[in-house]
Amino acid sequence: MSKIPFANARKPSLRIWHILLLGVFVIVAMARFYGPGLASFILWLSTPIVAKCANDTSNSPGLPMVINTWGGVFTAATDAAYLSLLKPETSALDAVELGCSTCEANQCDGSVGYGGSPDENCETTLDAMIMDGTTMKSGAVAALRRVKEAVSVARAVLEHTTHTLLAGDFATDFAVANGFTAQNLTTEASAASCTQWKAGGCQPNYRINVSPDPASSCGPYEPVELTSDSQVLARDKPEGHDTISMISLHSSGTMAAGTSTNGAGRKVPGRVGDGPITGSGSYVDGDVGGCGATGDGDIMMRFLPCYQAVENLRRGMNPQEAAEDAVRRMLRKYPEVQSGIVVVDTKGNHGGAGSGWTFTYAYRGGSMNETVVVSVPPIADSVADLRR
């Protein structure tokens, strides 16, 4: 695995710029010796070439290709999905399922799969979705209990129902009926971390406007009556978590996308984040491109950032512009939001944007021998700039 800074991933080659500078020098020299008429004519002819070179954002490694949120341990998923696409029998949908399943089995960063991010009751539940870029059909599970293979259950929803999303115990019943095994998702490590959290007064947590004071108590809680003058109180939340969101491009050009996560640690039982929401956790339209997201799902799902990013591609933006626009839309309303967006078009050109942290994404395509990780610094625009 190699790592490159984001800025360097998109610069046109120095050779192109050298040619452009030489061209400008020639035009200036001709203006001096032959008059402005001929030079102006040459400049007029060269304008489209200069514009094309300056706006060239092509950085596709070629197809097949896999791209996903985060580097580090998440690159095992990138490699697994990419290598599977080298086999002729593997579809884009197969690759996404395999990649996300790899992270589920590996418990990537503790934020994907079993034994991570326990809720207030010390239980791990899973969210996942998978989407076919040709049919635009998606399948998802939310707050899935006692079944490890969340993204595979999501695919069963896609392929064996006309629904999009199943949740909770009913999603578990569906999974078992489709051949998946019910088992305890708690591990010794997750149980110990939850015990430690409770011993510390259940801090931090996601409760607001309740009694007793959630800033110092574990509850049980009762809601505080709110009036028209009441203000929704802000609270420090538990630290952020990571999600794997992946897009695959088959050598034939077909595309798929998917997401898997165990959600926010210490969440209120039953909470569902953006991961299984089509258009938020991930989204793909095989005619345009795809997107994967990670971050503060409770905020991000209000904006459907991946749907927005893909629509930005449809409107003519390149992947980098599409990602930045989607993030800025969130920042205008929530300047502190932690977010990460990775976008890819149908040719494999890619870009990313984030806020509140340094986001990374990983990709591998064409004849690449290893996965590359791109580092994306947070958008640092002022609030005034964001509102323009």
Catalytic residues: 243
Nearest Cα to 320, choosing from 305, 333, 309, 334? 309
Cα–Cα dist 271/343, whole Å: 27
Distances (CA, A) of 195 to 18, 118, 217, 218, 385: 62, 11, 15, 12, 45
5: preceding bond cis by omega (within 30 degrees)? no
**Whose structure tokens read 């293979």?**
149
Burial grade of 380 (CB within 10 A; 0-12, 13-18, 19 or more):
exposed
Q: How far apart are the first and last CA of the chain?
A: 39
Cβ partners under 8 Å of residue 193, min gap 6: 118
Find the Cα–Cα–Cα–Cα dihedral 21, 27, 29, 30, rounded to 10°. 160
Cα–Cα dist 124/267, whole Å: 10
Nearest Cα to 81, choosing from 97, 63, 62? 97
Nearest Cα to 8, choosing from 375, 326, 378, 296? 375
Name the token pair of 126.
């899973």
